[in-house]
Amino acid sequence: MTNSNLAPTKTNTLAVVSLVASILSFVTFVFILSIGGIVAGKKAQRQIAASGEGGAGIAKAGVIIGWVSLIWGILGVIALAVFWGN
């Protein structure tokens, strides 16, 4: 039996922005969007800890995906430099 008096918790907006930016960074503006996703995700995590809002998992996913995208972007630039230099 559920308690119908409980209001759903609000999802932190920056957490959603972080996830969307990090996912989009795989297809466009790799460095700008991945760094933006990481920064927004970290800020969202701080806000969630202070306010108790929902979206902690979304913020964490945004940060992780942002780092993965950033690393792939750096490796891509290195690979281009290596192969273009030959």
pLDDT of the residue at 30 = 85
Q: Are 15 and 58 in contact (CB under 8 A)?
A: yes
Return per-residue pLDDT of the chain as tens, 86 residues. Answer: 455 566 668 999 999 999 999 999 999 888 999 999 999 999 999 999 999 899 999 999 999 999 999 999 999 999 999 998 76
pLDDT of the residue at 35 = 95
pLDDT of the residue at 39 = 97
pLDDT of the residue at 4 = 59
Q: If DSSP codes are grouped into helix, strand and coil, which group holds residue 11?
A: strand
pLDDT of the residue at 46 = 96
pTM above 0.85, yes or no: no
How many helices (H) and strands (E) the chain has is answered by 3, 0
